[in-house]
Amino acid sequence: MLKNYLFFEKELEKLSFEEINHLLKGIEKLIYIDIALEKGKDDPQKIFESLNSTGLDLSQGDLIRNYILMDLEGSEQNHIYKDYWIPIENNCKVSNGSEITSYVSDFIRDYLTLKTEKFLQNQKFLKYLKLIMSMKLIKN
């Protein structure tokens, strides 16, 4: 937490008064939702997926990332996210002028197809990923 605070303190010191005011106006527009979960009782994956079904624009890649990281401890989550997931995301982005398209979902679907020798339709591959991870057919 201290490391994060020091990072923001350092970055904010670089901003002009006008830039800080602009930033504060943007922060005032944010909507924050706090969802408290009870360990052992609430299923974070189901809650995450139900939020997606209510209209938030989450990709299959978002759901897969959450599924892969959800059972890991905080430091391991950060390590996997920083050292593996971000490079995958960066290598799966294509820029067409002002538009950036992410192909993370396609990459993971194709990877699973190669590993399991089964073709996966887009709408079914998260369900299939959960199944094969639970059966330990591929490593988490």
- pLDDT for 58-100, tens place per residue? 677 777 788 778 777 878 888 988 998 889 888 888 888 888 8
Strand ranges (DSSP E) for 1-128? 93-96, 99-102
pLDDT at 45: 66
Q: What is the dihedral of CA 77, 81, 84, 87, to 10 degrees?
A: -170
Question: Which residue did the predictor score with more confidence, 14 or 52?
Answer: 14
- How many Cβ atoms sit within 10 Å of the Cβ of residue 109? 23
What's the half-sphere exposure (Cβ side, CA atoms, 13 Å) at 35?
11
